[in-house]
Amino acid sequence: VQLVESGGGLVRQGGSLRLSCATSGFTFSYYTIAWFRQAPGKEREGVSCISNMDDITYYADSVKGRFTISSDNAKNTVHLQMNTLKPEDTAVYYCAAMSPPTPDDNGWRRTSNYDFWGRGTQVTVSS
């Protein structure tokens, strides 16, 4: 199993980035894929997730209206489009995969519910 994040980098406040999570080794169409982030000295927090079975999406309140998650079933890849970035979005961003069933709006936020993790990609937003 592999989850490989890409697309991170350095961007100015107000800018945009598009993260990608390329997956392999499991049945992508059955899984929920999430993005988490972890800033220095802080706990890992859920950013967004998408259920490939039900096409349900969830977002953290801090990113609603700015971030959009999408899934490309043909390429087994999930994207996170991040717009209007803020310095507080600076973190290492990880993607993770959870086996069925589709989680509720509390369950997707728990890191212990995920079966597989990527190694992360750094996002830095300058002010």
pLDDT tens digit string along 71-119? 999 999 999 999 999 999 999 999 999 999 999 999 999 999 999 999 9
Confidence of residue 7 (pLDDT cuts 50, 70, 90): very high
Sequence-ordered list of residues with C-beta below 8 angstroms from that of 74, at least 6 positions apart, any chain: none
State the chain's mean pLDDT as an integer.
Answer: 97
What number of residues does the chain have? Answer: 127
Question: H or E segment at 116?
Answer: strand 116-117
What pLDDT is stored for residue 90 in this prediction?
Answer: 98
What pLDDT is stored for residue 1 in this prediction?
Answer: 97
Q: Average the pLDDT over 1-16 and give the result.
A: 98
